[in-house]
A and B are shown apart, each in its own frame.
Chain A
Amino acid sequence: MVAADLVVRDLVFGLLLGCVFSVVAHGLNIIWGIVKVINIAHGEFIMLGAYGAYFLNLFAGLTPLEAAPVDAAIGLLVGYAFYYTFLHRELRDKETITLQSEMVTLAATFGLSLFVSNLAIILFTGNPVGINYNPGTLQFGYLHVPLAALYVAILSVLIITGTWLFLERTFIGSAIRAYAQDVTATELVGANPAKVASLATALGFAVTMAGGALLTVWIPVGINPLMGALYAPISFVIVVLGGPGKMWGSLVGGLTLGVVIDVVQAFTTVEIAYAAAFLILIPVLVFRPEGLLKR
């Protein structure tokens, strides 16, 4: 009975952790799936989102949940700037991204990640900081669930649902989906591919930075300039698990990873749990390169 309790507890915490992982990876998924570019500096923008929440808390007293929309607004601007400095030159007038352009964007965003993380060390120092946010716990029998984690999980699912609705149910959303399928066709029906792609990139950055803000709830003393080096690979694994471009894929990948980490950790150590979470990527790429979701 006790063992069963523990398994249930690990599952619940794994799912809650998975939700925040999902939203953290979701921005990468949007950009990867639609613009077909992998932002190697993804983790650094999660980090900036987390610091955004930290400073908003420090100077304006905002909770991480309130900081998320502010971060998202900043993310929109950063996303547009990123598109026009890093991607526009490589993507314009091209039907599909060439291998050459893919390498250029990989290398350039890799340089960006090196630049941003080290600038952050200089600006914020290497000492980790955190936000004190504790709205209490919710009790289900033997389960004590921190409300903060629950709120974050709900908000994460809402964000992912929101982007799905935006892409599936709005006119601009259908233009973005059209771009993901066929750039030339988007042009033929009168949409400007650069505008569509930059909007998708901005949306991805908004979600990424908001995700960084929500993540701070899980790392009460862990906001630091190098945190991107952990959350970027986690995001990569999640997007591959779910399949790039599938909005629900982020959730499937995130929940899978969250549960794997929490359950493996319960039986072994936290290091083995993370090693297992990273290594899932390899069998998935070998046996189901299109991701876990069928469509």
Chain B
Amino acid sequence: MIEKPGLTLYGLFIVMALLAAAALLLGVAVSSILVLLLVYAALAYSINFITGMIGYVDFGHVLFMAIGSYALATLVSHYEANPLLGVGLGALLGLVFALGIGLVILRFRGVYFAITTVVLVLAAYNIVLQFPQLGAGGEIIVNLTFQPLATYFTIWTIVLIEIVLTYYVNRSRIGFGIRAIKNEEDAASSVGVSPRTLKLTGYMLGGLFGGAAGAVYAWSISGVTAGPAFDFTFSLLMLAMIIIGGVGTSIGPLLGAVVVYIPSYFLLTTVAQAQPLIIGLLVIIMALFLPDGIVGLLRRSNEHLRLVLE
């Protein structure tokens, strides 16, 4: 079923190459600005495995990000481990938690799933406050020498893996199965697709990469605090990124990450609330009028783009 890779993948590779070159050539200042963009992109691709592919709206994806952040922060601050080990542990814990949680909550469909994800984040937040080992709500400081390039290329690698994986999953047998679930779960199971396994696979991929991205985020901001780590704004921004970019596509999450990131960069200094405000408005407009996001808009506007964009 796998065909020759199309222009979309090459285009994404070029963007990634430019991002790598920018960090190497333009130095620390640029890479410390772009690292957040890449964290956004990594998170957008990770939630895309769940919401984008299976079609289940996940409001609580920040849970996996927080798990990753705490994994790295605890490992580095208590055991003085290499931060890369922290990223690995974040990814692993994200995967394990996704397996455990997914086994239970993927049985709930549609809105029931969506609501359960919200509730889980709040429960997890209240539980973390109980543990002095996890800072009991205070900050765990990650005390490392400033290594912007190491952080940058870790998250760069994660995004690159996500892009390739998204692209091939979308084109493969698994991708067809997953899209079948998205359209009609009961019909899918009656023609031999196993929704349980596929949904769990998507959810675990989401957990894995969400955890990894969260770990790098904690690394880049040198610590983790319970309040911001479980902040719904982040969770909502991730969802906003794929809704704006194009849910389920290979290129949409990156487009969405750029759109969400730009106001945060330019407006943060003036009005902190301007970013979520604008993003909220964009999501409303997108959801009501352009349900397939920027990618859908581009596809409809141009016959050539329709064939190329994935």
Contact = CB atoms under 8 A, between A and B. Distances in A.
Interface of A: 38, 40, 86, 89, 99-100, 102-104, 106-108, 110-119, 121-122, 229-230, 232-233, 236-237, 240, 269, 271-272, 274-275, 278-279, 281-282, 285-286, 289
Contacts of A269: 130
Nearest to B129: A271
B116 A111 contact: no
A281 B271 CA distance: 37
B118 interface: yes
Given A104-B288, A236-B115, A114 B283 contact: yes
Interface of B: 55, 57, 59, 104-105, 107-108, 110-112, 114-116, 118-120, 122-124, 126-127, 129-130, 232-233, 236, 239-240, 243, 271, 273-274, 276-277, 279-288, 291
Contact of A236 (B55, B118, B239): B118
A117 B104 CA distance: 31
Nearest to A271: B126
B36 to A, nearest CB: 19
A110 B110 contact: no
A115 B281 contact: yes
B283 to A, nearest CB: 3
A272 B126 contact: yes
Contacts of A115: 276-277, 280-281, 284
Given A108-B287, A229-B232, A237 B280 contact: no
Contacts, number: 133
Given A89-B288, A275-B127, A286-B104, A108 B283 contact: yes
B287 A104 contact: yes
Contacts of A116: 280
Contacts of B57: 103, 106-107, 110
Given A285-B112, A285-B116, A112 B130 contact: no
A112 B282 CA distance: 10
B215 to A, nearest CB: 24
Contacts of B105: 282
30 contacts: A38-B111, A38-B115, A40-B59, A86-B288, A99-B55, A99-B110, A103-B57, A106-B57, A107-B283, A107-B286, A108-B287, A110-B236, A110-B283, A111-B280, A114-B283, A117-B276, A118-B280, A121-B273, A122-B274, A236-B119, A269-B130, A271-B127, A271-B130, A272-B127, A275-B126, A278-B122, A279-B123, A281-B116, A282-B104, A285-B107
A106 B239 CA distance: 11
Most buried by A among B118, B127, B271, B282: B118
A131 to B, nearest CB: 24
Contact of B240 (A38, A111, A279, A285): A111
Contacts of A289: 108, 112
B110 to A, nearest CB: 6
Nearest to B109: A99
Given A233-B119, A271-B129, A286-B107, 6 more contacts: A103-B55, A107-B286, A114-B240, A122-B277, A282-B104, A285-B107
B115 A240 contact: yes
Nearest to B118: A233
Contacts of B236: 110, 113-114
Contacts of B126: 271-272, 274-275, 278
Q: For A40, A107, A114, which residue has the most chain B Cβ atoms within 10 angstroms?
A: A114
